Amino acid sequence: MSFKVTFGLLAAGLMLSGCMQATTFEATNTANFKPRDKELLAKTTYVKTPVAEPFRRAIVEYHRKEAPGSIVVDSDNHYLYYVMNDGKAIRYGITVGEEAMAWSGIAKVGSMTEWPAWHPTPGEISRLGVPTFVAPGPDNPMGSRAMYLYSGGKDTLFRIHGTNQPEYIGSSISSGCIRMTNEDVIDLYGRVKLGTIVVVLEPKHGDSPYKPQMALQGAGGTTY
């Protein structure tokens, strides 16, 4: 093996290990779940696919300037950040919209619901062939929580919500909404309040120093 190849592999390994060392993964604390959460999560029938390590909830160093208590969505890298004090953030892996359906901009959390019903938009009904209403429940596509994004006092029709498809965390397949695992969205919901600022970065503007694709490849996993 040549010196250049050896050096390149060593450098990549150091970059990856540095990212991993800066990451403190957080286990789900079910003690914070409400009785209804435990009851409905126990009844889910979807496959509880484990989230790939790069997209597991973690406390990370945060280099941007958004104020503590705000939310930043980096669709390029499939991360949502809840900004904390002292240059830290809680980073969650997410599913985001396909490029043609993605939304970006600055919004506020205008409404919040536990175990919401699903009211598909006319476009979703036409495109997906889904009913006009899906009642709340363990397998509802909206999952365990929903935070509704408003801009200029109007509902953008985009939400941060749970999912019955955890296998897609780290992918771009939704109808534009920001999906999280049901466990992660319960955690975020408990930290958020009405009026929380949500910054959704424009496509190609994500600047996470932690590159999930590199981590997946370095671990021998499958890239999305």
* Catalytic-labelled residue, pool 63, 78, 119, 161: 161
**Strand ranges (DSSP E) for the chain?**
24-25, 58-61, 71-74, 79-83, 88-93, 96-97, 105-114, 145-151, 154-161, 172-174, 178-179, 197-200
Are the C-beta atoms of 180 and 80 separated by less than 8 Å? Answer: yes
Q: Token match 């503007």: residue?
A: 205
177 in catalytic set? yes
161 in catalytic set? yes
CA separation for the pair 141, 185 (Å, rounded): 13
Are the C-beta atoms of 93 and 58 separated by less than 8 Å? Answer: no
Single-letter code of the amino acid located at 7: F
* Catalytic-labelled residue, pool 19, 78, 119, 177: 177
Catalytic residues: 161, 177
